[in-house]
Copies of this chain bind each other. A is one copy, B any other.
């Protein structure tokens, strides 16, 4: 199979992690398919659709093969969506996959660092990264389970480099 040319995923910049004993870098997950869900805890579409989908992906695939990573990209209502509020939210919604808090921008820009690096339009945003760190799918808004499943299945079936 020929190699597919694709954009390499940017490293993420996280100020604190939930649901993982150690920080997780993109580099450390190399070899797994990564499903990155950027969300905000007070974003209705995230709560009704994207986070349940992330939870379903986390439940459906072996964790050594498919890594689900949440990224709390707060770009509005910063005073409401604090890390302490996020912890209560994650507890109440029983989210079990690792979630990183996107690092606030040092320059007063309301958009946090990783969200800027990935150039997300808003939340929810979804990125699927292959085992070599290439971005294979980017989606803003509600994503269909069938299409997301197909992308994951395809990446799992690709031969290792």
Contacts and interface: CB of A to CB of B under 8 A. Distances in A.
**Interface residues on chain A, size class:** 35 or more
Interface stretch (A17-25, A113-121, A153-161): A153-161
A58 to B, nearest CB: 11
A5 interface: no
Contacts of A81: 85, 88
Interface string A24-68: 000000000000000000111001100001001100110000000
A80 to B, nearest CB: 4
Copies of this chain present in the complex amount to: 4
Contacts of A156: 150, 153-154
Contact of A89 (B80, B91, B154, B157): B80
A145 B154 contact: no
Contacts of A82: 80
Task: Name A's interface SS.
Answer: helix
Contacts of A148: 146, 149
Nearest to A76: B88
Interface in A118-151: 144-151
A146 B80 contact: no
A126 B85 CA distance: 25
Contacts of A146: 53, 56-57, 60, 145-146, 148-149, 152
A151 B57 CA distance: 14
List the 6 closest A-B pairs by CB distance, nearest first: A149-B149, A153-B153, A150-B153, A80-B88, A77-B88, A157-B157
